[in-house]
Structure 1
Amino acid sequence: MSLPQFIDIISLSNVEISDAIIETENKLFQLRFKKATRQNLKSHEIKHTKRQLAQLKTLLTLRLESLEQTEEINK
């Protein structure tokens, strides 16, 4: 399994990104819970999930900032 790529999420809408952020945060919680309870876990999944979460949040922030800038220009 390779690291998630930023290119894979660019085509998502803002609503889909928000849903993916919630889903990814839940997945990260479950992975951390597994680690804390010493259940069977592939340690690289935590790294991949954290990276994916960061990518989703970055993309959403960039889109919202560009939306705010266009609204300021239109005023």
Structure 2
Amino acid sequence: MDIRKISVGADYKSSAMHYILGQDILNGNYCIHLIKHIEENNSIKIWIENKKGEIFLWKEFNSNMPISIEYNINFE
């Protein structure tokens, strides 16, 4: 399944950081291109894309952090 959003932090509403697919980041110079669960080491990786279409690995969160995952659901 495709991940649409992750929230990292113990308190979802007040202090967690939220990362959403397509979200503009870093002063609008990049957007979140892909959020993926990596099963080998049970981590979450976030790739970003710049305006030239170049894709870079930006962040990786490991399994010892509290993470909430929201999946894309297609009702077609």
TM-score of the superposed pair, with normalisation by structure 2: 0.25
Higher helix proportion, which one? 1
Where relative contact order (Cα < 8 A, 6+ residues apart) is larger, the structure is: 1
Higher strand proportion, which one? 2
TM-score of the superposed pair, with normalisation by structure 1: 0.25
Structure label with greater radius of gyration = 1
